[in-house]
Homo-oligomer: A and B are copies of this chain.
Amino acid sequence: VETNDRQKLIELMEPLHAADIADLLEQIGPYDRARLIRLYDREFDGEILSELHDNIREEVIGLLTPQVLAEAVRDMESDDVVDLVEDLEHPQQQAILHALEDSDRVAVQQSLSYPEYSAGRLMQREVVMAPEHWTVGQAIDHLRRADDLPEQFYHVVLVDPRLRPVANVTLGKLMSSRRDTRLADIAAESFQIFPATQDEGDVAYTFNQYHLISAPVVDDDGRLVGVITIDDAMSILDEEHEEDILRLAGVDEESSLSDTVAATSRRRLPWLGVNLGTAICASLVISQFEASIAALVSLAILMPIVASMGGNAGTQSLTVTVRALATRDLTGSNVWRVVRRELTVGLLNGLVFATVLGTVGMLWFHSPMLGAVIGVALLCNMIIAGFVGTVVPVVLEKVGVDPALASGTFVTTTTDIMGFFIFLGLATVVLL
């Protein structure tokens, strides 16, 4: 790129997979990106667009000439075009839709009519189906005559006369069965149907849980409208995880390394703001015990330990609970068993560290009572940590808030405030 050598660039990029080119575009700065795209130009492939992160993608589409863009999208499958188009501003969206052939445009527009993050957005409309009463021979002949089979497909979907999917037959089974076998007799064991409006996270979970490879999507009347394949489900699973991890750390889940500095700052501000608020609340609690601290400075020295241990124990419980909710391992039926367990764990680990810290406090400040106070405070805070770490995410999930998003602040605020309150309060009563 430095030397503007177009030929050389194309040669270098030739062996790269679209996903790698997309990664490359994400890793370089905006200035280099613009130069590279102008040089690469006509060679630009639609698949690269699919692989790009959302916010970079818009920038790249803006850089492409209309002809190159039209060329690039025309080769894409319908689900990839939907994925590409759904996040774009209106004018860019229109430009791409116009570049498509009529039939493809209708398909894409229909998919866009389903809610965001639904199975309808995820599915591809190219489906291979056969009537349920056909035999293997009929299906094979049909497939070999068809000239517009999708690029990749793994199942033949069996449908009833009203186009409702009833079973899947794997291509492997089809290949290896006798021509007079009925398709219905060699149907795959694992079979799941997704309504077009179902949440894509649920779809990904179900694929992983039942080891599905592809699954039909139906409309409100139960009629087959498309098919979701495992590679799309895998991407969604990957995204959902990413979201959970980032949300647990209080980072906006849309963040990416290729954001600008200003965008990154802005995305991180909200949770830092919330944290500032809760930290000030904790300070207000401390300020109630100003006189105690003035009388015994060792309290100020030791109090962060109680809060920090509680925060850590709470985060452990919280993370386990958030994960268990996400993997559906934690359900209404075992929630109390889990809460009881976390309380017991808090009690056991609390006893261990209360003993250790009590001894440290006693030796450090030559005061057995101070040791006892910090030990008891730590024990209480760790039990509280186990309780809020479990109950808060469960309650948030119940009221429809993503537990990964808001639990962390709730939990650490509680353990901070309770830690300071119990330790300083107990010290005031016992020691002063």
Contacts and interface: CB of A to CB of B under 8 A. Distances in A.
Interface stretch (A68-76, A106-114, A117-125, A147-155): A147-155
A300 B23 CA distance: 48
A245 B235 CA distance: 18
Contacts of A428: none
Contacts of A210: 17, 19
A172 B329 CA distance: 37
Contacts of A287: 301
Contact of A312 (B208, B212, B235, B272): B272
A257 interface: yes
Interface in A299-337: 300-305, 307-309, 312-313, 315-316, 318-320, 322-324, 327-331, 333-334, 337
A269 B352 contact: yes
Interface residues of A, number: 114
Most-contacted residue by chain B among A246, A265, A322, A356 (CB, 10 A): A265
A344 interface: yes
Interface in A326-366: 327-331, 333-334, 337-338, 341, 344-345, 348-349, 352-353, 356-357, 360
Decide if the interface of chain A is mainly helix, strand, loop or mixed.
helix
Contacts of A327: 242
A351 to B, nearest CB: 10
A176 interface: yes
Contacts of A244: 245
B316 A349 contact: no
Contacts of A150: 172
Contacts of A26: 329
Nearest to A175: B143
Closest 3 pairs (CB-CB, A-B) = A249-B319, A300-B300, A171-B171
Interface of A: 17, 19-20, 23, 26-29, 128, 140, 143-144, 146-147, 149-154, 170-172, 175-176, 190, 207-213, 230-231, 233-235, 237-238, 241-242, 244-246, 248-251, 255-257, 261-262, 264-265, 268-269, 271-273, 275-276, 279-280, 282-283, 286-287, 290, 293-294, 297-298, 300-305, 307-309, 312-313, 315-316, 318-320, 322-324, 327-331, 333-334, 337-338, 341, 344-345, 348-349, 352-353, 356-357, 360, 416, 420
Given A208-B238, A261-B344, A279-B309, 8 more contacts: A29-B337, A151-B172, A171-B172, A213-B230, A257-B324, A272-B349, A282-B304, A286-B304
